[in-house]
Amino acid sequence: AVNLEARGPGCSEECYSSKLTKLEFLLVNLDGDLFDLVSKFSSDHMAFSEIGRQGRVRASANRFKSRMPASAILFPNGLRCSALFKVTDDDIIFAHDTWDTYSTAAPRIFKHLQLPTQKCLLRTTSFSSSPGFLSSIDDYYVVKEGGDEGSSLVVIETSNNIYTTSAYDACVPQSVFSFVRATVANNLAATPPEWANLFSANASGTYNNQWMILDLNRYHRNNQTLVDDCFWVLEEVPGAIEMRDQTQKLIKDGYWGSYNVAYYEKTRLIAGETEQYGSNVRANIFRSQQGSVTDIASMQRLMALNNNKNHPGWAINARFDLYPSQPDAAGGIDSKVASASSIAAGMTTYARGGPTHDDVDNFCWSDNEELADATAHCAHPQCFKYEWGTFSPASHPSLLGTNQVERAIRRHRRGFPTLQR
């Protein structure tokens, strides 16, 4: 509520045509949760199902879902994303591709927030995001407390579909939306099990995702070795959350792939998931290609992969616009890659915006007049030709270093009566 109050007036002053109300700012931040709300209420409230991104995605899904396997479709009740955690001899490399309508491919913002919390004097959260969002929604977060011994978490998710509409009967108003729970957990949790338990409180059953939480502090404290409780996986569906330590599976397999298919039996049953977790199209690609990942550059190549000329939607980074029949302005809109070592060195993430173009041509609105006419793309570049960039809070002089913030807070400690070390 405090953030919405603070952001609202400032953002409205920058708008030339109209001012956004608090309700409109709330709807912006409900971007992920609205997918499931639309699915729950659309039969009774058709106008509600056409809100913003949800209406655009629903129209896109209806056009090309007939030629895609169920779990590969950009369904209207969830984002479609790809994520991978890869263990190497001396590092852990992790990555995330956001899939969405190209309407949301720009503008994009990599945000860095520094705030004191009740548990620490400084906590920095870096995340990929969009204008007006208080959270990531993609979701991709790196969270680190001040000091060498402070907690250091990586939080990534991909969405899971709810195929059984009756499951939404478990969604009740007496709950808290996903973006709020994720923000609270990011600000308070020091470990993956803490994050999972905080996020699970008062679950809404909306924006149902598979969340992966990696404890880099625990990894580094044990001489770059994975130990129990380093890596947790949580899945939410209406009325239930399953969460467990998956560190041993990560060690055994050497990787964890996430591609919009539920893993746990309970969440699969409630969601009505029929596709096997290990036999998904992207599961097979990750299984065959993950061995090639040895550093940041090789992970970048894998997360940009789109070399299936017959089915460019069956890729790690989809390009639905490349179908000769019924193309659609949808697919991967970004890639983010980092590692345990790059986060330790300065919370550095390497990211690239726009549809992938390593194996295929750049996406240009000017080359796709029909898609351009049918797809909102205000403030977009004509062509997405971006290369990989480096994103770190250390590159922003407006962000204080750990020692500076700790000294400032100690000097004004009386202004933070609930702050505990």
Other beta carbons within 10 Å of 1 = 8
Helix (H/G/I), strand (E/B), else coil: 389: strand
Phi, psi of 274 (to 5 degrees): -110, -20
**pLDDT value at residue 38:** 87
**pLDDT value at residue 408:** 58
- pTM check: above 0.85: yes
The answer to whether residue 6 sits within a structural domain is no
The answer to whether residue 34 sits within a structural domain is no
DSSP state string for 54-84: HHHHHHHHHHHGGGS-GGGS--TTS-EEEEE
**pLDDT value at residue 17:** 59
Q: Which spans in 306-362 are helix H?
A: 340-344
The answer to whether residue 8 sits within a structural domain is no
**pLDDT value at residue 4:** 56
**pLDDT value at residue 119:** 74
Dist CA 34 CA 29 (whole Å): 9
Dist CA 377 CA 201 (whole Å): 37
The answer to whether residue 300 sits within a structural domain is yes
The answer to whether residue 255 sits within a structural domain is yes
The answer to whether residue 56 sits within a structural domain is no
**pLDDT value at residue 110:** 98
Structural domain including 211 reads 78-415
The answer to whether residue 38 sits within a structural domain is no
Task: Find out whether the peptide bond into 169 is cis, omega within 30 degrees of 0.
Answer: no
Dist CA 288 CA 326 (whole Å): 30
Give the chain's domain count. Answer: 1
The answer to whether residue 354 sits within a structural domain is yes
**Which residue type, as a one-letter code, is found at position 263?**
Y
Per-residue pLDDT 10s for the chain (421 aa) are 446 554 544 454 444 456 788 998 999 999 999 989 988 887 554 444 444 444 434 444 444 444 444 444 444 334 479 999 999 999 999 999 999 999 999 999 999 999 988 777 789 999 999 999 999 999 999 999 976 678 999 999 999 999 999 999 999 999 999 999 999 999 999 999 999 999 999 999 999 999 999 999 999 999 999 999 999 999 999 999 999 999 999 999 999 999 999 999 999 999 999 999 999 999 999 999 999 999 999 999 999 999 999 999 999 999 999 999 999 999 999 999 999 999 999 999 999 999 999 999 999 999 999 999 999 999 999 999 999 999 999 888 777 665 565 565 555 555 544 433 3
Dist CA 51 CA 57 (whole Å): 10
Q: What is the CATH number of the domain that holds 285?
A: 3.60.60.20
